[in-house]
A and B are shown apart, each in its own frame.
Chain A
Amino acid sequence: MKCTHCQLEFDETVMITEENNPDVYFCCNGCQGVYHLLKDDGLDSFYDKMGNSTIAPPVETDDNVENFDLESFKQRYIKITPDGFSKVDLVIEGIHCAACVWLNEKVLDSTDGILEANINFTNNKAKIIWDENTIKLSEIIEKIRSIGYNAYPYEQSVEDVKASSAQRDYFLRMAVAVFGSMNVMMIGVAKYAGYFSGIKPENLHLVHMAEFLFATIVLFYSGWIFFRGAYYGLKNKIVNMDLLVSGGATITYIYSLTVLFGAKGHSYFDSVAMIITFVLVGKYLEVLGKKSAVDAMDKIKSQVPLEATIVEDGVKRVVSLDEIVVGNIIEVKNGEKASVDGKSIVKESIYDESSLSGESLPVEKQEGDMIYSGTINSGMVMRYKATKNYANSTLSTMVNLLEDSLASKPKIEETTNELSKYFSMVIILLAIATYIGWYLYSGDLENALIITIAVIVIACPCALALATPIASLIGISWATERGLLFKEAKFIETFAKATTVVVDKTGTITNGNLTVKKQSKELNAQDVALLYAMVDSSTHPVSRSIKKYLEKEYTSIKIVELENIEQLGGRGLKAEYNGETLLGGNAKLLDEHYIELDYKSEYTLYHFIIGTRVVVSFELEDSVKKDSKEMINYFQKIGVEVIMATGDHAKVAKRVADEVGIKTVYSSISPKEKAELLISLKELGKTVVMVGDGINDALALSKADVAIAMGSGADVALAMSDVVVLNDSLKGIKESFIISRRTYTFIKQNLLLSLIYNIITIPLAMAGFVIPLVAALSMSLSSLLVVGNSMRIKKEEL
């Protein structure tokens, strides 16, 4: 059953329903809240615009919005426009479709004091301009959070500006090239029609002149980057693709010029324009890839805390992260992130380490325990002593590692490029040989030149160049129809060759949130009311799960007010009601209050006690996704090794692995170790696919040959991934593998077809049996052959 707000599929039993609104179902209170907010504000057309897209359910954030109004924040991120308004660049988290952008812009536009709210559909970055006297930035952020999204500031980096301007420059050149080619082709229709029906020489000259005009613009404006690339290549003594492209196009251009100014023969200005345009489109896609890598880095950097509070001689001072030195005492409030690594100096504290370990439960910290930068304090205000400065801390190291791996992501396509480079070299040599041979044989310079051009045209690696992209394109569109997004075509090939699949546990194999598995006994209405009030006062994942469970199980819960509510770090909660003490928490809490209870379970336990009476106990577990086992069985059956890598404890990891049938398990490993595991697997010669969803998986994802993320995963993980499974279903991973394998088979078939074509036609052209016009036609036919073959990819049921 689908949640009315986020449209994700859930089991009917866990859905929240409304008595007076029987058609709506919600997976959580967050979705319910946002749904009503949108409905009340008349923004429910959002759901029509969403179509079949899904979004992540809204998550409550503990981050303090007041940070956005701090002076240091303003100095770093807020710029003043010439009109005197404030401007900030934000990364909006949780945007999954165009409707999300629409909703955010609509809500911000209708907010008083906001002049401009412009969100980029492609990279989810937003530029907001507002009047500081009417509204504060913190209020704007709260507005964004109220509709289920979140926003972080980012500093526009030099790389970002550079990548954006490169993207625009390439787009401009590409637009001019496409314009030129289209015109040349249209004029070409007249020219080729003239060959068959007859054309006056002066008219043909006119047509050539027009072609010359467009080809010149395309070659020297759009093709400029190839000349530049060839120049730098030669300067470094490298024969690169740019040299072949620009060289080939220039030779054809010069030959056509001689025809234009009186020499006998046919001009090939259309070929000049087409060669440049096709290769330029490919280059533009590369530039887009680089831009998205820069965007991914900005998303990661926006996770870094802005500043820290240090305590010196009892005086608190807010400093920027670079100012922190080893030995500083740092204070962290509830919901704040630790800025540098250090050791706790307070007796007890609780930290949410999910960003590092992926573990869903907060970790208890004793005095002397390590506090890692980037983890969130989920308990009371605490202090710790810095043992590292910011640059050497975990968070900064992770950011740097990610930056490095983004810059050096392996490129499988290089082999194909190498291949076509050799192919082009061989063709050029054959063409030269043909020219010399025919000149010596016939003594006719022009005839030799025409035959040589026929060889170049017929061998133009169009079919070869199309073999991979056209099959990939069809494979990718097929995958997209099924909610599987391949970010680049090359991952189809890599995925098809996969030998090992490494999967994360939390959120990938399991659902990533705790659900009540067992309730020890039934509750009366009064006990339910008290327990509900108790769990409602905490944001701990266990409390949240029990609250959700009670809301589902018991329809009308009486609201009661508890007194003296106290958080007992790592144990639970204590409160009072009508003079009686209420306790809710784990076994440690029972021991502390000398309450005896013999209740053992391998799952997470929660007990509720009134006075000394144990009212009820709950067993909670992170349930395994229903199609996990099917996916793992499939991979094992076809001989692909499946490994589980998780930051969770060995016991939990083992239980889940046994349930789904995974034999190799790596537990309690840090994000860095996870990444190292992938590197070592790759060193063993394996092609590794990594499936993950959390920030803690980002580093490992960046090291994988193919990185797959679940659609509802952390934005950072999505940014690092090569394939996104939009519907969060593990069946999607199996489907994308089948699609990849089938597509790869067709790529190989296409390559074989184009090879056979070349083996037959090149010798014919060299022997002088083919005139350039027929060569051009047969080249098109070979391309059609490849396209037609690729159409068959989708003819299989998944």
Chain B
Amino acid sequence: MNSVLKLELIVGLFASFTMLAIVIWSIKKGDFDDSKRMMDGMLFDSEEDLQDAVNREKKQKALKEKKLKDIKNSKE
């Protein structure tokens, strides 16, 4: 009985500390700095919004590549 309890506690503690570590990482990253976005954010998480996020990443990549090319050209 004691060993089952021990095992349960160890597994439980491991799981909860893993989750805590994820939350701490997320807080440190700044995900919780904007309390209202945190609460209302899910209202604006539609398929279209996700598509926008993908497009934004593509746009950022393209602009960064363009910038690198410009810098390279100006050096030459």
Contacts and interface: CB of A to CB of B under 8 A. Distances in A.
A134 interface: yes
A308 B61 CA distance: 39
Given A171-B32, A183-B16, A85 B67 contact: yes
Given A175-B23, A203-B1, A210-B9, A84 B28 contact: no
Contact of A164 (B28, B33, B59): B33
A736 B46 CA distance: 36
A206 B67 contact: no
Interface residues of B, number: 34
B62 to A, nearest CB: 10
A134 B63 contact: yes
Interface string A649-668: 00000000000000000000
A179 B71 contact: no
Contacts of A200: 1-2
A122 interface: yes
A109 B33 contact: no
Interface string B38-67: 001101100000001001100110011011
6 contacts: A113-B63, A120-B33, A121-B37, A164-B33, A176-B20, A179-B20
A49 interface: yes
Nearest to B36: A121
Contact of A122 (B9, B37, B55, B56): B37
Contacts, number: 82
B34 interface: yes
Interface string B1-40: 1100110010001001000100110011010111111001
A179 B16 CA distance: 9
Given A179-B16, A203-B1, A98 B32 contact: no
A213 B13 contact: yes
A121 B41 CA distance: 9
Nearest to A134: B63
A62 interface: no
Contact of A83 (B32, B41, B67): B67
A214 to B, nearest CB: 9
B59 A115 contact: yes
Nearest to B67: A84
Top 4 A-B pairs, shortest CB-CB distance: A121-B36, A98-B40, A121-B37, A122-B36
Contacts of A101: 37
Contacts of B71: 84
A157 to B, nearest CB: 17
| Chain A residues touching B, majority SS | helix
Interface in A97-126: 98, 101-102, 106, 109, 113, 115-116, 120-122
Interface of A: 49, 83-85, 98, 101-102, 106, 109, 113, 115-116, 120-122, 131, 133-134, 164, 167-168, 171-172, 175-176, 179, 183, 200, 202-203, 206, 210, 213, 288
Contacts of A121: 34-37, 40-41
Contacts of A203: 1-2, 5
Contacts of A175: 20, 23-24, 27
Nearest to A121: B36
B36 A210 contact: no
Nearest to B52: A109
Contact of B27 (A115, A116, A131, A168): A168
Contact of A116 (B20, B33, B34, B60): B60
Contacts of A49: 43-44
Contacts of A116: 56, 60
Contact of A167 (B6, B20, B33, B63): B33
A295 to B, nearest CB: 12
A115 B60 contact: yes
A176 B2 CA distance: 29
Given A121-B37, A122-B36, A210-B13, 10 more contacts: A84-B67, A98-B36, A101-B37, A113-B63, A121-B36, A164-B33, A168-B27, A168-B30, A168-B33, A171-B32
Contacts of A168: 27-28, 30, 32-33
Contact of A176 (B13, B24, B41, B66): B24
A625 B5 CA distance: 69
Chain B contact residues, majority secondary structure: helix
Contacts of A113: 63
B34 A122 contact: yes
B9 A102 contact: no
A164 B35 CA distance: 12
Contacts of B60: 115-116
B11 to A, nearest CB: 12
A213 B17 CA distance: 11
Given A106-B52, A121-B40, A172 B28 contact: yes
A200 B70 CA distance: 74
Given A115-B63, A168-B27, A175-B24, A206 B37 contact: no
B20 A202 contact: no
Contact of B67 (A102, A120, A131, A202): A131
B9 A206 contact: yes
A359 B55 CA distance: 47
A115 B58 CA distance: 10
Contacts of B16: 179, 183
A131 B63 contact: yes
A131 B55 CA distance: 17
A217 to B, nearest CB: 9
Nearest to A210: B9
Nearest to B35: A122
B59 to A, nearest CB: 7
Contacts of A84: 67, 71
Contacts of A131: 63, 66-67
A639 to B, nearest CB: 39
A85 B24 CA distance: 30
A95 to B, nearest CB: 10
A184 to B, nearest CB: 11
Residue of B1, B59, B63 with highest tally of chain A CB at under 10 A: B63
A98 B30 CA distance: 19
A781 B23 CA distance: 33
Given A116-B60, A203-B2, A203-B5, A102 B36 contact: no
B5 to A, nearest CB: 6
A268 to B, nearest CB: 20
B74 to A, nearest CB: 11
B6 A206 contact: yes
A352 B43 CA distance: 41
A553 to B, nearest CB: 41
B30 to A, nearest CB: 7
Contacts of B9: 206, 210
Given A122-B37, A134-B63, A171 B27 contact: yes
A133 B52 contact: no
A120 B56 CA distance: 18
B5 A206 contact: yes
A102 B27 contact: no
Contacts of A134: 63
A200 B24 CA distance: 36
A49 B59 CA distance: 26
Contacts of B44: 49, 98, 102
A101 B71 CA distance: 34
A206 to B, nearest CB: 6
A127 to B, nearest CB: 11
Contacts of A85: 63, 67
A168 B9 CA distance: 31
